[in-house]
Amino acid sequence: MLHVASRSRRGWSSNVVGRVKFCLLQRGRLALLLLVALAAPVRAQAPGDQSATAPEPAATEPAELVAAEDVPAPAPVEPVRTPRVQIHGFVSEGGFISTDNDYIGESSRGSLELFEVGLNVSTEVADKLRAGVQLFARDEGVFHDASPRIDWAYLDYAWRPWLGLRAGVIRMPYGLYNEYADIDAARVPILLPQSVYPFRNRDVLISHRGFSLYGTRELGDAGEIDYQALLGTLIIPRSALTIDGAELDRVDTKYVTGAQLFWRPPFEGLRIGATFIRASIDFHLTLDPATTSQLVMLGLVPPDYDGTIVVSQRPDTLAVGSAEYIRGDLTLAAEYARSWTRQRSSLPSLLPTTTTDSERLYSMATYQVTPKLAAGAYYAVTRDADDRGGHSAKYMEPFQAWQRDLAATLRFDVNDHWLWKVEAHFIDGTADLDPILNPNPVRYWGLFLARTTVTF
């Protein structure tokens, strides 16, 4: 998703590549914001003065003078409903270095830019109705947020166990773990398998704006099913992409729709499911004056060409098959995903219509060795489904058609709120690397990360 590619044409750039580029995170200002939020009272006060003394009961006639049938039964006293506001958050810091190639940022030189911070608030507004919001910011390599952005903010009405409705900015149901991708403490690895949960698409896949239905249905002896269905738009800010030789003016998401279904058979700890998502996206670009002049000179565009171009991905389709098994301290997971994109432009002489088919999969195991120590490992693969061997002329080197990642992680929990992680990746191929950061990629390379996280 969100890869804008082109074919070489007479001296113009060989590829038009999408890349996330955010402003530098203002950590001091954000820390002050969190302190102010935490200092604020978090309990809801019931209406009225709860400390006022109750009035004395009115005098009554002696009990023996009042007929029993004339005494009304006292009305039941209902307790005053006091909404409970929950505030949680996390702060993560870390670093990474690679033996070759630049991943996330300038990892080949080493970087301490692995910072994330989030603050969420939720409450029960009324019976069966909840509301919540999360602010998130990061400074991770080339990915920067100048100020906190809304990860999710929605109303959730659970009408029945089998039917609920959410509205607002809603977590995206995608695979096993996307809805918890922003919670470092909820998993063992630092980086989720990048074949299915690519780091650079985090801000696009984390949520959507619109509506979703969800529920759980018992199947008797056959177990139960969980489902979600969504309709809305993706949230892609103008600053989300930089285009070589052009400026991104705006991104229009025509729609995003999808569904997810998980079956929990009568076999404890097992769940099997599938996710399907389809979107339609238009990127409105303006070529820089130098590029526009060159195209006019080459006769590729008319003399009065204004430099505007629209690149459309219609449709952009994702499908994921998932399986997870938890037995005691052991967790096993595997997912297989396909991504199909049809891309066309308003200037086909420069950007002809293309179709891509990407194949992504992984298998992962984690184990809680002791109450404080956990270990995990996974093997993830990304490859061109139409050209697994990289024989096409569009690849300068065959290994640019695939990326095979063997990763291992150790997690140590100091206490319930503080943890440390270290992680190593041994990688063959460069299919998921940004070609702008890596003009001369190396086939075999390693990536090493360390991170500490505090939650509250």
Residue 350 Cα distances to 13, 71, 114, angstroms: 10, 91, 37
Residue 63 lies in a domain: no
Q: Is residue 71 part of a domain?
A: no
Query: ω into residue 303 within 30 of 0, thus cis?
Result: no
Residue 202 falls inside a structural domain: yes
Nearest to 131 by CA among 164, 162, 159, 168: 168
pTM for the complete prediction?
0.80
Query: What's the burial of 18, exposed, middle or buried (CB within 10 Å: 0-12/13-18/19+)?
Result: buried
Contact by Cβ (8 Å): 273, 299: no
107: CATH: 2.40.160.10
pLDDT of amino acid 153: 96
Place of tokens 């113009």: 12
Give the tokens for residue 59: 């005098």
- Domain count for the chain: 1
Structure tokens at 197: 């949960």
DSSP per position, 161-185: TTEEEEEEEEE---TTTGGGTT-GG
Q: What is the pLDDT of residue 74?
A: 58
Is 145 part of any domain? yes
* 48 contacts: CB under 8 Å, gap ≥ 6: none
Distance CA 42, CA 87 (A): 7
Has residue 272 been placed in a domain?
A: yes
Residue 53 maps to a domain: no
* Structural domain of 198: 27-37+84-455
138 domain residue, yes or no: yes
Domain membership flag for residue 45? no
Q: How far apart are CA 181 and CA 184, in angstroms?
A: 7
Q: What share of the chain is helix, strand, coil (3-state, %, to 5)?
A: 10, 50, 40
Each residue's pLDDT expressed in tens, for the chain with a length of 456 residues: 544 433 333 333 333 333 333 333 344 444 334 333 443 433 333 334 433 333 444 444 444 434 444 555 555 555 555 568 999 999 999 999 999 999 887 878 888 989 999 999 999 999 999 999 999 998 887 776 657 889 999 999 999 999 999 999 999 999 999 998 989 999 999 999 999 999 888 888 899 999 999 999 999 999 999 999 999 999 886 656 666 778 888 899 999 999 999 999 999 999 999 999 999 999 999 999 988 998 889 888 888 899 899 999 888 999 999 999 999 999 999 999 999 999 999 988 888 888 999 999 999 999 999 999 999 999 999 999 988 888 887 888 999 999 999 999 999 999 999 999 999 999 999 999 988 888 899 999 999 999 999 999
